[in-house]
A = this chain, B = another copy of it.
Amino acid sequence: VFIKIILLDKRTEILEIATRLFAERGYENTPLSLICESAGVSKGLISHHFKSKDGLLREIFNQTTQLIIKINSKPEIELPPHKHLEKVLKSFFAQLEKDRMLLQFNLNMIAQPSTRAILLDLIQERSIFILDNTISIFDRIDPKNSLILSHMFIAELDGIALSYLGVYKDFPLKKIKSHIIKKYTKR
């Protein structure tokens, strides 16, 4: 019975496998046939559940957004802002080290014009949430400059992800981590 339940949830399986393949190979370079083969399902099933390849991509992106929103909506206001930043940074670097896949996926989809067009509204929604969330932290540190500081904070993390995942083989991730944590938690 237990096995049956797991095997039956083909919809979830498609989502997970497609996320990985899109991250590894890019959206346009991942044929649906490969997803189907990897997931052990038929081509028709993707149409049935997600309508189209674009629909599948949007579903994946949106699920991740909902997860991000859920995680960051926990009331951690009690934490002092520098502690809060430290927590955000640590979770970012942890993901970079252990689960490159999801960050790679996001980077791909946002940098690529064709996928950006498909996800336009969803990217807006997510990025605005992230900006607002970051601003709410910096508001408690330096309210006058919180917008600029937040944008810089986000840009730094994105840039680190790009350098680490896509450019520099020998990127000194650990040292960068210490450096940036020290920078944002001192005082």
A residues whose Cβ falls under 8 Å from a Cβ of B: 23-26, 28-29, 104, 107-108, 110-114, 116, 123-124, 127, 131, 145, 147-148, 151-152, 154-160, 162-163, 166-169, 171-172, 175-176, 179-180
Q: Assuming the A-B contacts A26-B113, A152-B179, are A147 and B159 also in contact, with contact meaning beta carbons closer than 8 angstroms in the complex?
A: no
Instruction: Give chain A's interface secondary structure class.
Output: helix
- Kindly state the separation between the CA atoms of A157 and B155 in the bound complex, as whole angstroms: 8
Q: Is the CB of B162 within 8 A of A131?
A: no
Judge whether B155 and A163 touch: CB under 8 Å. yes
The answer on a CB contact under 8 Å between B111 and A166 is yes
**A29-B69 Cα distance, complex, nearest whole Å:** 31
Known A112-B112, A154-B159, A155-B159; 19 more pairs at CB < 8 Å: A24-B113, A25-B114, A26-B112, A28-B114, A29-B114, A108-B111, A108-B112, A111-B112, A111-B166, A148-B172, A151-B176, A152-B156, A152-B176, A152-B180, A155-B160, A155-B163, A158-B158, A158-B162, A159-B159
Report which of B28, B116, B147, B166 forms a contact with A166, defined as CB distance below 8 A. B116
18 contacts between A and B (CB under 8 A): A25-B114, A28-B29, A104-B113, A108-B113, A110-B111, A111-B111, A111-B162, A111-B166, A112-B112, A124-B169, A127-B168, A151-B168, A152-B179, A154-B159, A155-B163, A155-B176, A157-B159, A158-B158
